[in-house]
A = this chain, B = another copy of it.
Amino acid sequence: MRLRLRPRDDSYYEMFTDSANNLVIAARLLVELMSDGADREAITEKMRACEHAGDDATHAIMRRLNKGSAPPINREDIYQLASNLDDVMDSMEAAVDLIGLYGLERLPKGIIDQIEVLERAAELTAEAMPRLRHLDDLTRYWIEINQLENQADRIYRKLLARLFSGEYDALTVLKLKDVIEELENAADAFEHVANTVETIVVKNG
């Protein structure tokens, strides 16, 4: 797989779309990681490449902002949105990294539910970014992301209860808790993206 990002200079909207498409790739890597017989090392490598591609996209946005070309929307909001998208990537990458770092062989099945919510949130976000240009039909996106975040929250809490059910020793609980917390952070970060989009709509709508 070749990770590709085209931070073209002609539009912030396209840069945000690229950045969000990159999150879709990352979410799919998470799905892949959970499949039987997954090559975890290869996936961890791809995830790292994905994070670097995300960093490049963020820096391209920042560089363009710094050059002083007039952005179509408020500078601070562009900065905020780029940071929020970056935060999602960081959490997803951290989750994969921790799984390797802790040598976690067996992961509780419920993690798949967390990851599926992230995949859906990534897709919705990637679909919404091009609509920023005309502030078009973003209420539905915002509501759906909020619903997904609530769903992620319930899954996360169920997983927490599962971790403490007596099945795992304390050290394993600590390790698994770090992983599911990073995935929960990713879900929260998708909500922050949506909140920033809402702020942009409020200011420019």
Q: Tell me, rounded to whole Å, the shortest Cβ–Cβ distance linking A125 to chain B.
A: 19
Is A157 engaged at the interface, CB distance under 8 Å to the other chain?
yes
A160 with B195, Cβ < 8 A, contacts A66-B201, A170-B171, A202-B66 known: no
For A70, list chain B residues within 8 Å (CB): none
- Count of interface residues, chain A, beta-carbon cutoff 8 Å: 31
Determine how many copies of this chain the complex contains.
3
In this assembly, does A173 line the interface, its C-beta being within 8 Å of a C-beta of chain B? yes
Are A202 and B65 within 8 A (Cβ)? yes
With contact pairs A66-B201, A202-B66 given, residues A174 and B175 touching in the complex (Cβ less than 8 Å): no
How far, in angstroms, from A200 to B23 measured CA to CA in the complex?
A: 28
Interface residues of A in 156-176 (CB under 8 A from B): 157, 160-161, 164, 169-171, 173-175
Among all A-B residue pairs, the 4 with the closest Cβ atoms: A170-B170, A101-B161, A170-B171, A65-B202
